[in-house]
Amino acid sequence: MLRVDNPEIPAILTAALGVAPRDTYLGEVISRLRNRPCPGVGRVLNIRPIKQGRATVAYEFVDLRPEDAAPLSVPGVRVILKPRAPKPVAVVSAEPVSAPAPVPVSDLVTANESASLSFAVSKSSSASDYSQKIASLASEASLLARVPAVSKAFVPFGDFEVVDRIVGTRHATDVFTTFITGHSGNGKTFQIEQACAKHQREYIRVNITAETDEDDLIGGFRLKDGETVFELGPVVIAMLRGAVLLLDEVDLAGPKVMCLQPVLEGNALTIKKLGITIKPAPGFTVFATANTKGRGSDDGKYIGTNLLNEAFLERFSITIEQQYPSVAIEKKILAKTFQTLGAVTVTPEAETFFETLAKWADAIRQTFNEDGIEDVISTRRLVHIVKTYRIFGDEDRAIALCLNRFDTSVKAKFLDFYAKLKPQPVVEPVDAPVAPSDDIPF
């Protein structure tokens, strides 16, 4: 990295390079300098302005090779030299890209502005230039493709063994695709994340909406700092790094997700806007989660879900029907969640409360399946109740606050269920007082 403390650097550089005075815009300077030798600078991949308020006070030359990072030999320019280690450069071609070993990061990530997922485009750039730029960006994508942290509140259940084996296999020659369907709040996304944490797999989650299109998924042109750049989408980054890609709430998608057909088939993806083709690296795996099976929601419970194209659904290798956990598992989930909130131990009172919550939710779900009630209590809703209980220390208040999202009639039915299952306090019998007697025992 080379920092030039002079806000007039574009004009100075254009003069030093013999560029016409009218071409003193930063974008023009960058395009002329990029990937070509520059006096005292070497090959420059990017230039970033440094601002104080609205004023530009300096410029940084980013991604210089250490051997090229020499002081800038332009009169009147003071230079601060900050060389950095070279980055591995992969090749986007017929062979998969070799990504660096993933590094776990914490949930609190401070963004590094130099690790951009975009690159400038110009009329003079060729498809080969774009391929090299994309390959170099793939090694900087750790802010997007990250290894999730292991959660102490996670309890495996249901088909987690299937998900765990898929994530741990790291398919070397083919892409494996999995569709997971089930009611809201029953751990579909969480189990994929925790499988990735267990196997130290990089994980990219994309939340699908009705507006999601090829530009969001594959990438597209953006305007940054006055120049046109192409920003890589999460699907491309996952392919390049061999990461686990999650298409979350995929049944909200419209027809535009059909752009993922070659990706789901395990084939190379052609970015038509750049004229290049990218093959998935070994280990690239695709999961999709949904509340329906891609046939919409007839009862209106999951409004906004769409009918997915049959050809799109057919490209998923397997489908997992995720159920809610059993009472015993759900009780364990609630106890572990309580402990992650700072509770040293789970008191007998709290343990009884968690068991009652699990039995309550199970009874409501059974009634829902028999069309006896309009809604269900999800595992996520129980976790909300436990978190609220941890704050207020009051069982009834925690339940009431967390049930306010439901209609009045549904809430009343839920509370009636809970009242019937809630353990009643044990009242020990009190001996009746003995009436005084005038008899004098002998």
8 A C-beta contact, residue 240 and residue 282: no
List the single range of 27-36, 82-91, 160-169, 317-326 with lowest mean pLDDT: 82-91
Q: What is the pLDDT of residues 153-178, one digit of tens each?
A: 999 999 999 999 999 988 766 899 99
Residues 92-108, mean pLDDT to the nearest whole number: 41
Say yes or no to pLDDT of 376 above 70. yes
Tell me which H or E stretch contains 403: helix 395-403
Mean pLDDT of 383-398: 96
pLDDT above 70 as % of the chain: 66
* Strand positions, DSSP E, 210-295: 219-224, 227-232, 244-248, 269-271, 276-278, 285-290
What's the sign of the alpha-carbon dihedral 19, 23, 24, 29?
A: negative
Q: What is the per-residue pLDDT for 77?
A: 43
Residues 9 and 38 sit within 8 Å (Cβ to Cβ)? no
Angle ∠(100,101,105) on CA atoms, nearest 5: 110
Burial of 376 (0-12, 13-18, 19+ CB in 10 A): buried
Residue 323 neighbours by CB under 8 Å, 6+ apart = 158, 182, 186
291 is written with which tokens? 């509340």
pLDDT in tens, 106-139: 443 333 443 346 667 776 677 777 777 777 666 6
Do the bridges between strand 285-290 and strand 244-248 make them parallel or antiparallel, or are there none, so unpaired? parallel
pLDDT above 90 covers what percent of the chain? 53
**pLDDT tens sequence across 229-274:** 888 899 999 999 999 999 999 999 999 999 999 999 999 999 988 8
5 Cβ neighbours under 8 A, 6+ residues apart: 57, 58, 77, 78, 79, 80
Look at the pTM and tell me if it is higher than 0.85.
Answer: no
Query: Which helix (H) or strand (E) element contains residue 362?
Result: helix 348-369
Confidence at residue 97, expressed as pLDDT on a 0 to 100 scale: 38
